[in-house]
Structure 1
């Protein structure tokens, strides 16, 4: 599978809501990075392999009430990116830094308890 880029428009009002949206997005399997883009900072750009764009949009709708898929496509080739980066460096003086969140690979560990039958009372009617 090729890397894909998904842009989703979400109604985010403050830093806390932007942080929650980023947390939701990077928690989806296959997501390698996410950043907030757009003039009014109301769009999230998600990059990764095998990302289900509909699932991401539904999760954001659940939390924020409105999330609209703007575009879904493959990531551009490196040569095209180099040309764009040169152009962006000229215009970068006016733009703010874009925050990207890496894919989180840690999984919480839950203790598993083994129930041993030798501790059970034979007269107990529940077990």
Structure 2
């Protein structure tokens, strides 16, 4: 049984194109149920799902969108 998880990845959102590309990459990853963006002190994408490879997803974002994507946290989603 896999645990439902909440993944936060810090990634600068420069423009609408970046946001669209990030959304496309995240929604096609295995196990992802929802993707949302949070803009506070730092821009981040929040991914919720089951069995998501957080490190792999972060590496993919680094490679395809922004070299500064950083995995902030992986936690159990309530």
Q: 2 CA distance for matches of 1:25 and 1:75?
A: 17
Q: Which has the higher strand share?
A: 2
**CA deviation after TM superposition for structure 1 residue 12, in Å:** 1.8
TM-score norm. by structure 2 comes to 0.90
Q: Distance in 1 between matches of 2:39 and 2:76?
A: 19
- Of 35, 51, 74, the match for 1:72: 74
Q: How far apart, CA to CA, are the structure 2 residues paired with 1:22 and 1:58?
A: 15
Rg larger in structure: 1
Residue of structure 2 in register with 1:28 after alignment: 29
Deviation of the 1:2 alpha carbon: 1.4
Q: Return structure 1 stretches of 4+ with deviation > 4 angstroms.
A: none
Higher relative contact order (CA 8 A, sep 6+): 2
Q: How does 1:19-98 map to 2 (within 5 A)?
A: 19-39=20-40, 42-63=43-64, 64-76=66-78
Q: Deviations over 1:37-56 (max 9, x none)?
A: 13157200000000000011
| Residue correspondences, number | 76
- Whole-angstrom distance in 1 between the partners of 2:20 and 2:28: 12
